Amino acid sequence: MRKRVTLGLLLVFALFSISATYKTPEAGSSINFFKGSYKEALIEAKKENKLIFIDAYTSWCGPCKLLKQNTFTDKAVIAYFNEHFINVSMDVEKGEGPAIATKYNVTHYPTLIITDKDGKRITFTVGYIQPDDLLGFGKYGIEKGPGSASL
């Protein structure tokens, strides 16, 4: 019984440690996420002839916070994703997030999704990934996506 309590306390401490070490990226030092509704992002994607990158996260998810802190702030990731995608970051537990989670069958966090400009899913991945892996994921999405995506 004492071991369970100790393990439980260690787990709680570890989760709080991850939250405490998370720093919000400064403006311009992260992927440029679209400031509007998902419907507006679809309109923008059509207008700019780009694919959509969705970061589906929750506020309590440690790996989601690490992704924002470590991967989305990588200079190569920022340049590539800002050039090739309309980027959407969505808390799937708030606002229009639950509907998006249902639409794309999001059950684990973070889930990263690439869609075409009409919202049809091209590819997805689940969990924390390093910057080089995210770049590969983005390039794969562009290669697999419709030929109308801007390169």
- Report the catalytic residues: 61, 64
DSSP type of residue 29: S
* DSSP secondary structure string for all residues of 70-121: IITT-HHHHHHHHHHEEEEEEETTSTTHHHHHHHTT--SSSEEEEE-TTS-E
Q: How far apart are CA 19 and CA 52, in angstroms?
A: 28
Q: Which residue has the tokens 């790996």?
A: 63
